Structure 1
Amino acid sequence: MKVKVKAKHKLKSYLRWDMLYILDKIDQGGEYSNVVLDRYIQNSKRDQRDIDLLVRVVYGSVQRRKTLDFLIEPYIQGKKVDSWVRSLLRMSVFQMVYLDRIPNYAIVDDAVTIAKTNGHQGLGKFVNGVLRQFMRHPLRSIELIKDPIKRLAITYSIDDWLVEYFSKHLSEESLELFLASLNEEPLISVRINPLKITQKQAIDWFNLRGTPVEGSPISSFGLRFEKKTPIHSDLFKEGALTIQDESSMLVAPLGQLKGHEKVLDACAAPGGKATHIASLLDNGHLWALDISKRKLKILSDHLDRMNLSDRVTLHATDALKYSPDFQDLFDVIYLDAPCSGTGLMRRKPEIKYRKDQTSIDSLCQIQDQLLEKAASLLKPGGRLIYSTCSLVYEENEYQVQSFLKKHSNFKIDPVKEEEGVPKKLLTEEGYIRVWPQVYHTDGFFISRFIKSKD
C-alpha cells in the first residue's frame, strides 16, 4: 500500500488505520498475521482494549476473507479495486457482521475518512456507497450456492481445492467440524520446563494470582490460557515456561530419552522442541541445526533464559549439508521438516489462501531429501522422529511409506497410548495425527522410526 504523507500524519490516531496497515502487510507483504500482530503489540502505546479490538478485527478479516468477498461483491459490481481498498471494505464489513458492540456509523465514518485521506474524494464516495448499500440489504445467502465444495469454501472461508482435498479424507460431519475449527480463536499454549516446575505447581501459581489456566488435555507438560499471555510473568522470565503449541509438545518425549544420548534436531528453529529436548537430557547433548541465523539467535536467547545453553550446540547450516565434527552417529534424531503449515491455519489464517498443490509437491521433495540425510546420520538401533505441522497426507503418511520402501533397515516404532498420548490422536499404524477440531490445538503429524541393529 502506498501511504500518502498526509495520511501518515492525519490518520495516526485512528485505530482502524492501524488495522488496515497491518492487513496490507499480510495481504500484500506476504507476512504472517501472528508475526505482524506480535510486532505491533510489542511496540504499541495503545491501551489493552484497543489492542484487543485490533487483533480481533485483523484476525477475523483474514480468517473470513473469502466469505467477506462473497458478501461485498454485489456492491462492487466487477469494478477494479486496489488491494488496500478491498482490505478496508473487508475489515469494515467484518465489524458489521461479526461484531455487535460497534455502531455501523462509526465504522463507515472511519472507512470513508481513511479512503479519502489515503486516496481521494472519489474513493471516499465509493467506499461510502458500497458500505451504505451493504447496510441496506439483507446478507447474501451462501446456502443458495449449489456446488457443495464452493458452498463450504465460502461458508468457512478457505480455498476450494483444500475443501475438495480434505473431503476425500474426512466424513461430511468431520469435514465441517474441521473447517469450522479453523476460524476459532487459538488458545495460548505454554510448556513447562520440567527442570524448574511441574504442571500442577504452575497451575497453582497462576490460580493463586487470579489468572485462569488449565492443564493441557494432550500433554503433561502443557498449560492453556484463553486470553492473557503469561510471557510477562515471573515464571516465564525465570525460564520455567516457554511458548509452544500443545501438539508439538508431543514430539520430544517420543525419543524416549534416558538423558545420556547424543541427539540431533535437524530443523530446530524457532526452538520450542529444541528447548524441550534439552530439558530431557542430563549428561547427553543436543546438536541443533537451522538455516536461519536470525531464528537461531531467538533459540539461543530461549536456551539462556531457561538455563539450558550448556546442553546444546547450535549450528547455522542447512541440514542437507551438515557433517558432524565427530565420528559417532546420533542416538536419536528429530526431524521437524519444512512443510505447508496447513495444521496452523487457525493461528496463521492466510495459509488458507497461499498454498497450492505445486508448492506442496516442492516441499515433499525437500522432506524426502531431509529424511535421507537423517537416515545416514542415525546409528543402528537409534530412533528417528519425523514430524510436520501439516495435515496433508503427501507430507505425512505417504512420505513415511515412501521412506520405508527405500529403507529396509528402518521400521515404524508405533506410538502407544501408554506413552501418555490420547487414543484419539493415534492412527492404526502407530502415527500421531492431530486434527485441530479434536482438542482445539494446532494440526500436527508425528511418526517414529527405529533403525535396525544389523
Structure 2
Amino acid sequence: MTATRHLATQVLYQVVIKGQHLKAAMKSVLPDQLPAQDQAWIQHACYVSLRHHYSLTARWQKHLKKPLKDLWVGELLTLSLAQKFYMETPDHAIVNEAIKTVRKNKKNWASGLVNKVLRLAINDQIYQPETPVEQFEHPQWWIDILKKDWPDDYLQILQANNQKPPLWVRNKNPAKQLAGQQHPEIPTAWLMSDHKASGDSALHGGQYSVQDAAAQLSAMILDPQPGERILDACAAPGGKSCHLLERQPNIVLDILEKEPGRLDQVKSNLTRLQLTAHQLICGDATQPETWYSGEKYDKILLDVPCSATGVVRRNPDIKISRKAEHLKPLTALQQDILQTMSALLKPGGLLLYATCSVFRSENERQIKKFLSSKPDFSELPLQLPGARTALHGQQIITGTDDMDGFYYCLLSKQS
C-alpha cells in the first residue's frame, strides 16, 4: 500500500509541479512489472486528486501556519484527502500510510506535520469553498471565459468537467447490438454501462472502438462517398480516420499527423480494425509544401489542436496544465491551419472544422475571421443532436446527453 501511494504521489508531482501530461507521467513513473490492480488504483487516485485538486489542496492548506515549501509532501496531502472524501478509505489507513510514504521518500521530518495536518483536515466538519476556484475546481480565468461565452450553460460545463466520464464506443457494425444503450441519433454510438468494456476482447478484436458520441459526428457530417479523395489533417490518434473508412472503405484517404509517435497510434488503430488508408503522412498542416502531392481533395477534416476544454473529464490534468496565455498562440495556429488547408480543397469541396473545445475564441470566432478573408467559402447549415447553434457552426455543451464538449462547422468552397 505504501508503495502505491508513493508512486501515485510521484505521478501527481510530475503533473502538477513539473507540468508533465498525466498519461506521460504514469508511463514514466510506474514500473513495467507493476501489478494491474496497483496500476488501476494509482490511476483512479490520480484522476480523482486532479479532478478535485483545488478544493483538496485548500482543505489541508488552511491547517498550516505558513506555506509548505516541500511540494512533493503537498501532493501527498492532496492525494490523502482524495482518499478520504472520494475513495472511502478508512481515516486511520490514510494517516498511517501517508506517514509511511514520507518516510519511504526519506522525508522523516515531515511525518509529524503530515500526521497533524491530515487529522485536522479529515475531521474538519465546517469546510466550505472560499473561492469560485475551490467551488468549481477550475482556474479563475477559465471560469471567467465560460461565464462570458456561455452565461446560461457555464455551470453545466463546470459540473460536467468534474464528473467521471461516461464510456462511449463506436460500433463497427451498426446492425449488431451491443451490451449498452444506443444513441437515438448516432447509430454507431453506444453508451456502455460497464467500464471494463474498454479492455475486453471485442475491443482488441476490432468489433468496436472507444470514442465519444460527439466525436463520432464528424464521419456522419462528411458522409464519405466511394472514390472521394479525403484528407484527415491533425489525425492522431486516428479515431475519426478509422470511422471514415468504416463508413466508406472505398475512399482515397490521406492521414496527416505531425508527431511520428502519434502517427504510430494511427497505424495501430488501422491495423486493429483491419482498415487501409491511401497514405499516412508525417507532416505539418501549416507546411504542405513539404508533403503535399498537388492533387486537391474533395473533403478535408480539420480537427485542429485546441485547448481540449470539452474533454476535461477525460483529462483532468488539463485544468492544472492549461494556462490563459496558451490561448493566443493556439488560436493563431488554428487560423494558420485553416487558411493553409483550405487551399488544398477542390472547388465544390467540403471542409469540416472541428475542435473539442467550448471556448468561442477557438470556434465560431475562428470561422468568422476565416470567412471574412475567404469570399469563395460559405458555411453550410448543420443540425446536430444536442448542439447549440453558434454565430457560425454548432456547439455541443459538455455533459449534454452524456457527450463531450465539441464544436463543428461545415464549409463549402465555391465551384
- What is the Cα deviation at residue 351 of structure 1? 1.3
1:86-105 to 2 correspondence within 5 Å?
A: 86-100=74-88, 102-105=89-92
Residue pair 1:413, 1:430 contacting (<8 A) in 2 also: no
Please name the residue that 2:278 is paired with: 312
Q: Which amino acid aligns with 2:205?
A: E
- What is the Cα deviation at residue 184 of structure 1? 0.6
1:434-449 to 2 correspondence within 5 Å?
A: 434-449=396-411
- What is the Cα deviation at residue 29 of structure 1? 4.0
Residue pair 2:161, 2:312 contacting (<8 A) in 1 also: yes
Looking at structure 1, the residues matched to 171 and 122 of structure 2 have their Cα atoms a distance apart, in angstroms, of 48
CA displacement 1:203-236 (0-9 Å, x = unmatched): 1xxx4xxxxx222355211122244333443332
Q: Which amino acid aligns with 2:225?
A: K
- What is the Cα deviation at residue 58 of structure 1? 1.3
- What is the Cα deviation at residue 435 of structure 1? 1.1
Residue pair 2:331, 2:361 contacting (<8 A) in 1 also: yes
Residue pair 2:233, 2:303 contacting (<8 A) in 1 also: yes
2:188 equivalent to 1:201: no
Q: What is the percentage of aligned positions where both structures have the same residue?
A: 25
Q: Cα–Cα, structure 1 residues 179 and 326, in superposed 2: closer, same or farther, change >3 Å?
A: closer
CA displacement 1:119-166 (0-9 Å, x = unmatched): 332211111111122234324222xx4xxxxx3321121101111111
Higher mean C-alpha deviation, range 328-337 or range 111-120: 111-120
Please name the residue that 2:162 is paired with: 183
Residue pair 2:68, 2:74 contacting (<8 A) in 1 also: no
Please name the residue that 1:210 is paired with: none
- What is the Cα deviation at residue 338 of structure 1? 0.7
SS of the counterpart of 1:75? coil
- What is the Cα deviation at residue 42 of structure 1? 10
SS of the counterpart of 1:138? coil
2:9 equivalent to 1:20: yes
Q: Cα–Cα, structure 1 residues 340 and 374, in superposed 2: closer, same or farther, change >3 Å?
A: same
Looking at structure 2, the residues matched to 16 and 131 of structure 1 have their Cα atoms a distance apart, in angstroms, of 15
Please name the residue that 1:168 is paired with: 148
Please name the residue that 1:220 is paired with: 187
Number of matched pairs: 414
Looking at structure 1, the residues matched to 224 and 156 of structure 2 have their Cα atoms a distance apart, in angstroms, of 36
2:71 equivalent to 1:83: yes
- What is the Cα deviation at residue 37 of structure 1? 5.1
1:407-426 to 2 correspondence within 5 Å?
A: 407-416=374-383, 421-422=384-385, 424-426=386-388
Looking at structure 2, the residues matched to 134 and 358 of structure 1 have their Cα atoms a distance apart, in angstroms, of 34
2:338 equivalent to 1:349: no
SS of the counterpart of 2:143? helix
Stretches of structure 2 that go unaligned for 5 or more consecutive residues are none
Looking at structure 2, the residues matched to 32 and 136 of structure 1 have their Cα atoms a distance apart, in angstroms, of 33
Q: Which amino acid aligns with 2:394?
A: I
SS of the counterpart of 1:248? coil
Higher mean C-alpha deviation, range 258-267 or range 217-226: 217-226
CA displacement 1:229-279 (0-9 Å, x = unmatched): 334433323322122222111112211222220001111111011111122
SS of the counterpart of 1:229? helix
Q: Cα–Cα, structure 1 residues 321 and 128, in superposed 2: closer, same or farther, change >3 Å?
A: same
1:50-69 to 2 correspondence within 5 Å?
A: 50-69=38-57
CA displacement 1:366-424 (0-9 Å, x = unmatched): 111111111110011000000011111111000000000000100001113xxxx31x3
- Using structure 1 for the length normalisation, give the TM-score: 0.85
Q: What is the RMSD computed on CA atoms of the aligned residues?
A: 2.3
Q: Cα–Cα, structure 1 residues 191 and 79, in superposed 2: closer, same or farther, change >3 Å?
A: same
Q: Cα–Cα, structure 1 residues 314 and 127, in superposed 2: closer, same or farther, change >3 Å?
A: same
Q: Cα–Cα, structure 1 residues 351 and 47, in superposed 2: closer, same or farther, change >3 Å?
A: closer
Q: Cα–Cα, structure 1 residues 95 and 221, in superposed 2: closer, same or farther, change >3 Å?
A: same
- Using structure 2 for the length normalisation, give the TM-score: 0.92
Looking at structure 1, the residues matched to 32 and 334 of structure 2 have their Cα atoms a distance apart, in angstroms, of 37
Residue pair 1:436, 1:443 contacting (<8 A) in 2 also: yes
Structure with the higher fraction of residues in helix conformation: 1
Q: Cα–Cα, structure 1 residues 226 and 15, in superposed 2: closer, same or farther, change >3 Å?
A: farther
CA displacement 1:276-313 (0-9 Å, x = unmatched): 1122334321111111111111111111221212x331
2:132 equivalent to 1:152: yes
Please name the residue that 2:229 is paired with: 262
